[in-house]
Amino acid sequence: MAKIIYVDHEGTERAIEATNGESVMETAIKNSIPGIDADCGGACACATCHVYVDDAFMDKVGKPEDMEQSMLDFAENVQANSRLSCQISVSDELDGLRVTTPESQH
């Protein structure tokens, strides 16, 4: 179990107890977190689950793989801490992870 904190673009925080092994995207969808569309359901096919990872967790979540990186290159308002949340798997190590959702995924 790990607590994931989702911050929307207006700054509202929502803390969720996430299940290990599920993705940060799935956790968001099941808990109706606004700001994540995840149209393809986690297949890394659509780039609509873009989030900004809190700097303190950048090392723990690791770097995106090539496929994800090239998807991110075409997302709107990409930053150095951008990730696709379908590619971040929840684990104990990520307890307390804060991710911020962009204003729009399209």
92-93-96-99 Cα dihedral, nearest 10 degrees: -110
Distance from C-alpha of 85 to C-alpha of 48, rounded to nearest angstrom: 9
The CB-of-74 to other proteins minimum distance in angstroms stands at 4
- Give, as ranges, the residues between 76 and 105 that touch other proteins (CB under 8 A): none
H/E element, 28: helix 24-30
The CB-of-68 to other proteins minimum distance in angstroms stands at 9
Buried b (16+ CB within 10 A) or exposed e, 37-49: bbeeebeeebbbb
The answer to whether residue 1 forms part of the interface with other proteins (CB under 8 A) is no
The answer to whether residue 16 forms part of the interface with other proteins (CB under 8 A) is no
* Nearer CB in complex with other proteins: 32/80: 32
- Give, as ranges, the residues between 44 and 73 that touch other proteins (CB under 8 A): 44-47, 67, 70-71, 73
Residue numbers at the binding site for other proteins (CB under 8 A): 22, 26, 29-30, 32, 39-41, 43-47, 67, 70-71, 73-74, 106
